[in-house]
Amino acid sequence: MVGDDFGFYIDPQRCIGCRACVGACAECGTHKGRPMIHLDEIDRLVSTQTTPTVCMHCEDPICAQVCPSDAIKRSEDGVVHSSQKPRCIGCQNCELSCPFGVPIVFSGLEQMMKCDLCYDRTSEGHKPMCATVCPSQALLFVPKHQISAMRQNQPLNEFTIGTLKVRTRTALMVPDPGLPLHLDAALLMVGGGF
C-alpha cells in the first residue's frame, strides 16, 4: 500500500532535461532495465525545453476501460499498475487511448508496461526512483501537507479534453489549481509559445 498522505507532483517547467529520471527509472524492480518515464523535447528547433511524463494514475483509468483483457488494475491506494502478465495480449488499445500518452506496449513480448509509481519502493515507504534523483524537483514525491509550503504553484488533479473530464492521483503544478487544465490540441499546432 502506498500511503494516502503522499502525493506525486510534476512540474515540467522545472525540467532541465538531464535524463537522470530515465536512468533511475530503469533500475526499478517492477520493470527491470526498461525506463517507463518519458522525457520529451517540446520542439527541439525552437526550445531546449523538455518534459517528463509519468502515469497520472487516473481515478477512472481510460487505459483500463479500453483494455480487452481486463489486464489493467487500480489498487485501493489509487495506483494503476502495469498490465497483468498472464492477461495482456499486446493490442495497444491502452497505449493509443491514454489521455496522457503513458503506457508502452512491447511488441513481441505482447505486454504493456507503464509507470507504476515504483510500487516495489513506494509500497514500502520509499520514493519513486525518478523523484529520488530529479535534481530540479520537476518530479516530487512528498507528503501532501508539505507541498503548499514548498511552491508558489499548487497541485491540480483535474484535466479536460474537449468535454471529457479526467481526475488523477498524480498532480501537475499550476498557479491556479481551482480551474481544470484544458488540454487543447490547438496548442500543438501553433508552436505552443516556445
Partner 1 sequence: MRLLDQLDLEPRPLIRAALSTAALGALVALGSRGGRWLDPALLGYLLATLFACFGVSYRYWSWLERPATDMYFQDTLRRFLSPRVLLTLPKLMLLALDQIFLQRFIEKRSVKRWGAHALIAWGCLLGFSVTIPLVFGWVRFTSAGLDPNRYEAWLFGFPAGSFPLGSPVAFITFHILDLAAFMVIAGCTLAFIRRLHDEGDAATQRFDLDLLPLLVLIAVSVTGLLLTVSEKWLGGRNFTTIAFMHELTVIVMLLSLPFGKLFHIVQRPAQLGVTLYKADGEAEGRLPCKGCGALFIRANQRRDLEVLFKRLDLDGARHSPSVHHLDLCPKCKRRLMALAQNQRLGGSFDPFHDVPIYAEPVADPTTFRS
The contact mask relative to partner 1 for 63-82 (x = CB under 8 A, - = no) is --xxxxxx----------x-
Indicate the length of the chain as a whole number. Answer: 194
Does 188 engage in binding with partner 1 (CB under 8 A)?
yes
Q: Which of 55, 58, 80, 102 binds partner 1 (CB under 8 A)?
A: 102
Distances (CA, A) of 59 to 76, 81, 101, 166: 11, 13, 16, 8
Binding partner selected for residue 8 from partner 1, ligand SF4, none, CB under the kind-specific 5 to 8 Å limit:
none
Binding partner selected for residue 16 from partner 1, ligand SF4, none, CB under the kind-specific 5 to 8 Å limit:
none
Residue with cell 514548498: 150
Would you state the cell numbers that stand for residue 111, as one nine-digit string?
A: 505486454
Does 5 engage in binding with partner 1 (CB under 8 A)?
no
Among positions 39-58, residues that touch partner 1 (CB under 8 A) are: 40, 42-43, 45-47, 49, 51, 53
Interacting stretch for partner 1, rule CB under 8 A, among 17-25, 101-109, 127-135, 143-151? 101-109
Residues 6+ apart with CB under 8 A from 13: 138, 173
Does 101 engage in binding with partner 1 (CB under 8 A)?
yes
In order, the DSSP letters of 120-154 are HHHTTTPPPHHHHH-TT-SEEEEEHHHHHHH-SSE
